A = this chain, B = another copy of it.
Amino acid sequence: LTYIGLWCILFIMIDLILLGFLSYKPMTGYDIKREMDHSTTHFWHAHHSQIYTTLRRMEKEALLTSQMVMEEGQPNRRVYNITDEGKKKLQDWLDKPLTELDDYKCELLVKVFFSGFREDEDVLNELILQRKLHTQHLSVYQELDKFLESHIKTHADPRMIIYSRFTLQMGLRYERMFIGWLDDTIEEIKNM
C-alpha cells in the first residue's frame, strides 16, 4: 500500500482547492471557507474543521507556510502562503487530464428508485418540496451570475472570472435540468 505513494502522486481534492485559492493570494482558513461557500459550494464543499486540519497538514508537507497576524479587538488570523512546491503540485494536477467521469450520488434518486412501495401521493409531495428547494438554488445562481457578469470587465484578471463563470453556468443548467425532470415526473405520476 505504502510504496504506491512513491510512484503515483496522490491528488486529494481538498488539498488542490486550498492550493488553488492560495495561488491567487495569501488567505486564512476562514477566508477560504467563506470564498468556497460563495463560489465552489455547488460542486465542492468543505467544513471548516476539514479546511483547518488540511492547511496544518499541508504546511508540514511544505506545500504552504503560515504566519500569525495579530489583530486588536478581533481574533488573530493565521495567514497561509503557497510555496513553490505547492504551486508545482497544483500545476501537476491541472496538467494531468481526467480520463474518467466523476461519480454522481443522489439520495433522492435512491428513494425514487424504491418508491414503488410508497403511496403516489407521498412521492408527489416529496418531489414538490424538492422542486421548491431547487428553484431557490436556481435563483441564487442567477443572482451570482448577474454579479459575475458585471464584474467580468472591471476585474484585473478576467480569465479567472471567465473560468469560474463556466462552473456557475453548469450550476444553472443542472438546476434547470433537475426542475425539468421533477416537473415531468410529477406529471407522469399524476397521470398514472
Residue numbers of A with Cβ under 8 A of B are 13, 16-17, 20, 23, 39-40, 42-45, 90-91, 93-95, 97-118, 122, 125-126, 129-130, 133-134, 137, 157, 159-160, 162-164, 166-167, 169-170, 173-174, 177, 180-181, 184-185, 188, 192
A20 touches B157 (CB 8 A): no
Residues of B within 8 A of A13 (CB): 105, 107, 110
Known: A169-B185, A185-B169. A111 touches B94 (CB 8 A): yes
Residues of B within 8 A of A16 (CB): 110, 114
Residues of B within 8 A of A166 (CB): 112, 185, 188
A20 touches B163 (CB 8 A): no
- Would you list the 6 A-B pairs with minimal beta carbon distance, nearest first? A43-B109, A116-B159, A20-B114, A177-B177, A116-B160, A43-B106
Tell me the complex Cα distance, A45–B188, Å. 27
Most chain B CB neighbours (cut-off 10 Å) among A102, A110, A162:
A110
